[in-house]
């Protein structure tokens, strides 16, 4: 069979685009090289919905960021994932930086960012009393927010599959042929034929592009390192705290997460091309994060760190998003070079790319049975006592707590495995349910999650992996 | 809603001993709430021997030690709810718990014994840079995989931290055919028991490298190796001493943290050194009717001491249930030279019995004296060949001394070199 559209890459762009396309009667397949959705840049970033004042006016980044920020609350609501409109502050720590803040404010006006204001020191410290004494003013953008990028992506993929999109994991595209108006994608799961291709391969989008002879851009992978701090200090700041941006990015931020932790980072260091899948943290990087986070909030201490991670940004050498049909082949549609503010822009990019694709195909009907509302996901930790009792009465598995730190039940873990495009490994369960994300980092629940996965998937426990092929947790049986 | 005189949170050695003691003292309705499928707590996976030498005067394995108490509990009418997680305790001693069978449980208690044990410190708290490959786990998790599930979590192992579980697992993995390459300890001394260093490392020629830590992990999917380095006197890695060691598993035995989320919910004061509740000599917290014992109060090295401490808590809880709150005149215990913490943190001088103070030193002392000073007078001075942070020590305040104290008295334990 020949698909109408194959989307390469199940990150936030690929998954949301798949969901947009599921509004139409098209045969769409979402291909992911890794063992799960959201495994690249989507998994590890600042989890911020930027207001849109950073990008230069007139760029795609500026346009899609402002639009995406506006769309995000409704998308998150439909998909039943957390979103918080907490606002952001770009803080000035000197008179010189105040000028910079003013510049950002004006850029924001040019980009059409709503609800911005310049705060003086007193106003700033009334909002955020834990900022450093040197903080002397700020740009306040009330439309900014925070989301959980992988939860958003998981939900989007799930909703897309529910609405008819096919999802193939462990399906890496290694070559592309084009003949008679049809692409043949050579993948690790065999050949796949499709009329249209959407390239949402993130840090690998330039490689995929070159498979059809389009070498108009190159991705320079750029590492960003972070710490996640315990919920005990999650309320240190209410808003996302930026420092003035530099050539390499928006600097080290301090922000609450939608789950109540505190996130500090990222660094920004260009990497060698061959290292683009290397998400190792470095001693130097983590030291930088500590140093610069303390500049914003001196009380932030990595003594409260529960984990650290590295994300790799897909920074394109052309310095803007690459969106729309390739010049080499109009049936090959780029959604490439998506770096910050990619997450913020994602709903708008997805809508745009789906629109371009549908227009190119022409004469496409609506999918009459499309339902964009993802069904309610039971979250024991958020439920009232009455809801909990009712849920357990229906399914006793909701009465068995597996993850002590985050209060996650066996029922929620089973739901995550059985969901469309569901979890297949320990990290997949973790991203979908938060089991193992608390302060003990899976010390208590890790082995139980392995058992549940083995049982649900009909496997032996030594076949269960942390995050897909090769990351097995257990070896053979003991003597 | 259910009503019980005593709710014991945790069915490990502490919870069982506290419940049994309270029963013995005449408390009628007692329930033990345990999150695992069976009573016994962490002892169930500690299949090595060395338990019970102090309490039973014989050497038992962990499950054997637990079984003695499980048998005793079963002979009483103490109610037991396993596979049950306590979600909350409020200031009125109302306990909320959940399990598959009963659903959501609300239990009103007259008194509560907190016996939730402790958890292992994870990697994140350590700031080891590198990849997030599979094969990095706490020693306790590895112990569960080997001893309860019967699977090998690794073949070439590096252990970071010389806590007792790490030492025990070094031997266990070796016996199961794995190669334990090295045990690294950040500090210049081990945090484990001397007998474990001898029996688990020395007897198997496993090197213990002091003042050494893991600075980086390598490997994309499964761990392929770690970089270790010696540390300077500020515990910072020395660049020139970096060394790559090939391994597929990194086990962490870098400390235990009392599991006090519930305790904090009640608003009970926590000792910043022990990370457990601050208690009196009967292990009562500052919240009336709430007692704490075992590793949730402070991390013990021997289960025998957990049992004895839990019996005090059980006795205290029984007294509270049967006779109401006692008249108290508290005198705080003060740490002097070399002493890191003391449990209990305060002593009721109206207590008619001898009171034992448990404490740990902050570093290694050789040929030193442990001095108990009350109101500036030396009550006892005991010679010790060696004092180490890994081994808990004790001193006793005799009842006769206690009887002569006033509310303005002072109690100090210190090490004299």
pLDDT digits (tens, 9 = 90+) for B271-284: 999 999 999 999 99
What pLDDT score does A306 carry? 87
In chain B, which residues have their Cβ closer than 8 Å to the Cβ of A306? Answer: 122, 124-125
pLDDT of B216 reads 95
Indicate the pLDDT class of residue A274, thresholds 50, 70 and 90. Answer: confident
Q: With 70 as the cut, is the pLDDT of residue A248 above it?
A: no
Q: What is the pLDDT of residue B191?
A: 85
Chain A residues 226-255 with CB within 8 Å of chain B: 228
Selected for mutation to probe chain B from A232, A282, A306, A401 (highest B CB count within 10 Å) is A401
State mean pLDDT over B30-52.
Answer: 96
Work out the pLDDT band at A250, boundaries 50, 70, 90: confident
Q: Does A392 contact chain B (CB < 8 Å)?
A: yes
pLDDT digits (tens, 9 = 90+) for B171-210: 999 999 999 999 999 999 998 889 999 999 999 999 999 9
Q: Which residues of A touch B221 (CB under 8 A)?
A: 467-471
pLDDT, tens digit, 9 for 90 and up, residues A11-23: 999 999 999 999 9
Band (pLDDT 50/70/90 cuts) for residue A444 is confident
- Chain-chain contact of A308 with B129 (C-beta, under 8 angstroms): yes
| Chain-centre distance for alpha carbon B8 | 17
> What pLDDT, in 10s, does the model give residues A24-58?
999 999 999 999 999 999 999 999 999 999 999 99
Q: Model's pTM, two decimal places?
A: 0.93
Please name the residue of chain A whose CA is at the shortest distance from the CA of residue B35. A401
Give the Cα separation of A178 and A6 in Å (integer). 13
- Residue A68: Cβ within 10 Å count: 26
> Helices A95-111 and A60-79: crossing angle, nearest 10°?
80
Q: Which residues of B fall within a CB distance of 8 Å from A447?
A: 141, 144-145, 149
Name the closest residue on chain A to residue B99, using Cα atoms: A399
Nearest Cα of chain A lies from the Cα of B408 at a distance, in angstroms, of 36
Give the model's pLDDT for residue A124.
97
- Backbone angles phi and psi of A8, in degrees to 5: -95, 110
Confidence at residue A440, expressed as pLDDT on a 0 to 100 scale: 85
Instruction: Confirm whether A315 is a catalytic residue.
Output: no
Reported as a pLDDT band with limits 50, 70 and 90, residue A249 is: low
CB contact under 8 A, A443 and B124: no
B118/A contact by beta carbon, under 8 A? no
Mean pLDDT computed over B372-398: 95
Contact A440 B124 (CB under 8 A): no
Q: What is the mean pLDDT of residues A228-241?
A: 94
Give the lowest-confidence range in A272-276, A339-343, B50-54.
Answer: A272-276
Residue A247 has pLDDT above 80, yes or no: no
Predicted confidence at residue B6, as pLDDT, reads 98
pLDDT at A384: 96
The residue ranges of every structural domain in chain B are 1-120+256-325, 122-254, 327-417
pLDDT digits (tens, 9 = 90+) for B54-95: 999 999 999 999 999 999 999 999 999 999 999 999 999 999
- In Å, how far is B219's CA from the nearest CA of chain A? 9
Neighboring chain B residues of A442 at a CB cutoff of 8 Å: 122, 141
The radius of gyration of chain A's CA atoms, rounded to the nearest angstrom, is 22
Q: How far is B125 from chain A (nearest CA, A)?
A: 5
Average pLDDT, chain A: 96
SS3 label, residue A133: coil
Query: Which CATH number does the domain B327-417 belong to among 2.10.60.10, 2.60.40.10, 3.40.50.10680, 1.10.1060.10?
Result: 2.60.40.10
CB contact under 8 A, B104 and A277: no
Question: Which pLDDT score, from 0 to 100, does residue A469 have?
Answer: 82
- What pLDDT is attached to residue A112? 97
Beta bridge partners of B103: B99
Return the C-alpha torsion angle A126, A131, A133, A136, nearest 10: -70
In the CATH scheme, what architecture does the domain A83-145+219-313 have? 2-Layer Sandwich (3.30)
Residue A375 has a pLDDT of 85
Is any Cβ of chain B less than 8 angstroms from the Cβ of A478?
yes
Q: Is residue B104 over pLDDT 80?
A: yes
CB of B146 within 8 Å of any CB in chain A? yes
Question: Of B134, B154, B176, which is closest to A479 when you measure between CB atoms?
Answer: B176
A101-127 average pLDDT score = 97
Give the chain B residue nearest A227 (alpha carbons).
B124
Q: CB of A46 within 8 A of CB of A265?
A: yes
Correct CATH for A2-42+150-218+319-361 of 3.50.50.60, 3.30.830.10, 3.40.50.720, 3.40.50.2020: 3.50.50.60
* CB within 8 Å: B151 and A461: yes
Q: Is it the case that residue A467 has pLDDT exceeding 80?
A: yes
Cα gap B48→B59, rounded to integer Å: 10
- The ipTM, to two decimals, is 0.93
Location of structure tokens 């979890």:
A423
Phi and psi torsions of B134, nearest 5°: -75, 155
CATH top-level class for A380-463?
Answer: mainly alpha
- Tokens 């992506």 map to which residue? A153
Residue B117 sits at the chain A interface (C-beta within 8 Å):
no
Instruction: Identify the pLDDT of residue A347.
Output: 98
> Looking at the predicted structure, is the pLDDT value of residue A121 above 90?
yes
For residues A15 and A150, give the distance between their C-alpha atoms in angstroms, rounded to a whole number: 10
3-state class (DSSP) for residue A207: helix
Of A35, A32, A33, A31, give the one whose Cα is nearest residue A6: A31
Specify the CATH number for B122-254; select among 3.40.50.1970, 3.50.50.60, 3.20.20.150, 1.10.620.20. Answer: 3.50.50.60
Residue of higher predicted confidence among A353 and A247: A353
What does the pLDDT read at residue A246? 74
Give the whole-angstrom CA distance, residue B166 versus residue A429: 28
Number of CB atoms found within 10 A of residue A359's CB = 9
Query: How far apart, in whole angstroms, are the C-alpha atoms of residue A153 and residue A132?
Result: 35
The pLDDT tens digits of the residues spanning A315-369 come to: 999 999 999 999 999 999 999 999 999 999 999 999 999 999 999 999 999 999 9
- Please indicate whether the domains covering B122-254 and B327-417 agree at the CATH topology level: no
pLDDT of A302 reads 87
Residue A120, helix vs strand vs coil: strand
Those of residues 32-51 in A touching chain B at CB distance below 8 A are: none
Q: How far is CA A68 from CA A52, A55, A62, A147, in A?
A: 9, 13, 10, 12
Buried b / exposed e across A334-355, counting CB within 10 Å, b at 16+?
bbbbbbbbbbbbbbbbbbbbbe
Q: In chain B, which among 223-242 make CB contacts under 8 A with chain A?
A: 237
In chain A, domain spans: 2-42+150-218+319-361, 83-145+219-313, 380-463
Per-residue pLDDT tens digits for B117-171: 999 988 766 778 999 899 999 999 999 999 999 999 999 999 999 999 999 999 9
Q: Which of A50, A204, A315, A382 is catalytic?
A: A50
Q: Residue A79: pLDDT above 80?
A: yes
Q: What is the pLDDT averaged over residues B267-294?
A: 97
Contact A307 B104 (CB under 8 A): no
Q: Identify the pLDDT of residue B28.
A: 97
Percentage of chain B beyond pLDDT 90 is 94
Q: In chain A, whose CA is at the least distance from the CA of B260?
A: A405
Question: Does A122 contact B at CB distance below 8 Å?
Answer: no
pLDDT band at A83 (very low <50, low <70, confident <90, very high): very high
Query: Is CATH 3.50.50.60 what the domain over B1-120+256-325 is classified as, yes or no?
Result: yes
B145, B147, B258, B261: best to mutate for the A interface, most A CBs within 10 A? B145
């Amino acid at each position: 069979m020949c698909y109408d559209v194959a989307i390469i890459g199940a990150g936030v762009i690929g998954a949301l685009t798949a969901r947009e396309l599921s509004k139409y009667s098209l045969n769409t397949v979402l291909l992911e090289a890794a063992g799960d959705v959201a495994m690249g840049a989507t998994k590890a970033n600042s989890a911020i919905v930027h207001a849109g004042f950073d990008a230069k006016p007139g760029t795609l980044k500026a346009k899609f960021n402002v639009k995406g920020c506006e769309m995000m609350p409704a998308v998150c609501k439909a998909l039943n994932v957390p979103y918080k409109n907490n606002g952001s502050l770009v803080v000035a720590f000197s008179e010189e930086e105040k000028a910079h803040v003013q510049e950002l404010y004006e850029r924001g006006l040019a980009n059409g960012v709503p609800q911005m204001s310049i705060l003086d020191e007193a106003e700033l410290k009334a909002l955020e009393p834990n900022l450093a004494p040197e903080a002397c003013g700020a740009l306040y953008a009330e439309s900014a927010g925070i989301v959980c990028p992988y939860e958003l992506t998981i939900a989007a993929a799930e909703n897309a599959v529910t609405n008819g999109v096919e999802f193939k994991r462990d399906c890496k595209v290694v070559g592309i042929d084009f003949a008679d108006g049809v692409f043949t994608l050579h993948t690790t799961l065999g050949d796949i034929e499709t009329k249209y291709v959407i390239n949402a391969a993130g840090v690998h989008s330039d490689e995929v592009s070159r498979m059809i002879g389009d070498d108009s851009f190159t991705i320079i992978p750029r590492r960003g390192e972070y710490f996640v701090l315990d919920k005990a200090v999650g309320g240190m700041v209410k808003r996302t705290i930026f420092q003035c941006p530099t050539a390499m990015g928006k600097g080290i931020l301090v922000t609450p997460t939608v789950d109540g932790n505190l996130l500090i980072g990222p660094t920004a260091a260009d990497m060698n091309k061959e290292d683009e899948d290397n998400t190792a943290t470095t001693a130097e990087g983590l030291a930088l994060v500590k140093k610069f986070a303390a500049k914003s909030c001196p009380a932030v201490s990595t003594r409260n760190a529960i984990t650290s991670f590295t994300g790799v940004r897909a920074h394109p050498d052309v310095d803007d998003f690459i969106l729309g049909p390739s010049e080499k082949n109009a049936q090959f549609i780029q959604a490439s070079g998506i770096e910050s503010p990619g997450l913020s822009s994602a709903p708008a990019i997805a809508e745009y790319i789906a629109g371009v694709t549908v227009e190119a195909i022409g004469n496409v009907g609506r999918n009459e049975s499309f339902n964009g509302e993802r069904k309610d996901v039971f979250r024991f930790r958020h439920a009232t006592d009455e809801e909990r009792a009712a849920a357990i009465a229906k399914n006793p598995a909701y009465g068995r707590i597996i993850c002590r730190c985050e209060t996650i039940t066996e029922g929620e873990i089973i739901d995550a495995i059985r969901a469309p495009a569901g979890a297949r490994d320990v990290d997949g369960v973790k991203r979908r349910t938060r089991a193992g994300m608390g302060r003990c980092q899976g010390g208590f629940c890790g082995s139980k999650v392995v058992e549940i996965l083995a049982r649900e998937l009909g496997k032996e426990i030594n076949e269960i992996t942390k995050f897909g092929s090769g990351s097995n947790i257990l070896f053979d049986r003991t003597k | 809603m259910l009503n019980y005189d005593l709710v014991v949170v945790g069915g490990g050695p502490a919870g069982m001993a506290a419940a049994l003691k309270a029963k013995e003292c005449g408390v009628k309705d007692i329930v033990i709430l345990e999150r695992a499928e069976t009573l016994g707590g962490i002892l169930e996976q500690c299949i090595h021997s060395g338990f019970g030498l102090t309490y039973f005067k014989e050497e038992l394995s962990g499950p054997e030690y637990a079984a003695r108490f499980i048998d005793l509990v079963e002979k009483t009418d103490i109610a037991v709810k396993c596979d049950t997680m306590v979600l909350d305790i409020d200031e009125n001693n109302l306990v909320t718990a959940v399990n598959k069978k009963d659903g959501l449980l609300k239990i009103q208690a007259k008194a509560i014994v907190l016996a939730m044990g402790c958890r292992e410190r994870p990697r994140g708290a350590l700031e080891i840079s590198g990849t997030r490959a599979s094969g990095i786990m706490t020693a306790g998790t590895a112990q569960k995989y080997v001893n309860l599930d019967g699977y090998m979590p690794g073949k070439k192992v590096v252990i970071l931290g010389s806590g007792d579980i790490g030492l025990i697992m070094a031997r266990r993995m070796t016996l199961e055919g794995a190669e334990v390459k090295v045990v690294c300890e950040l500090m210049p001394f081990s945090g484990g028991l001397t007998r474990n260093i001898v029996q688990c490392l020395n007897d198997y020629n496993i090197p213990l490298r002091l003042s050494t830590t893991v600075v980086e992990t390598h490997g994309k999917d499964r761990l392929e190796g770690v970089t270790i380095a010696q540390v300077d006197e500020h515990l910072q890695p020395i660049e020139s001493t970096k060394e790559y060691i090939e391994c597929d598993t990194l086990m962490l035995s870098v400390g235990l943290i009392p599991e006090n989320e519930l305790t904090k919910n009640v608003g009970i004061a926590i000792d910043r050194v022990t990370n457990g509740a601050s208690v009196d000599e009967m292990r009562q917290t500052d919240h009336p009717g709430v007692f704490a014992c075992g590793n949730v109060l402070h991390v013990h090295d021997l289960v025998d001491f957990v049992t004895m401490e839990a019996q005090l808590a059980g006795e205290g809880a029984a007294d509270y249930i049967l006779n109401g709150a006692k008249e108290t005149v508290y005198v705080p215990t003060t740490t002097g030279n070399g002493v890191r913490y003391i449990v209990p943190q305060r002593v009721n001088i109206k207590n008619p019995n001898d009171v034992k103070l448990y404490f740990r030193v902050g570093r290694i002392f050789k040929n030193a004296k442990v001095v108990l000073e009350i109101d500036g007078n030396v009550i006892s001075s005991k010679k010790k060949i060696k004092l180490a942070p890994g081994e808990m020590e004790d001193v006793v305040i005799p009842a006769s001394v206690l009887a002569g104290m006033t509310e303005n008295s002072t109690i100090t334990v210190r090490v004299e070199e």
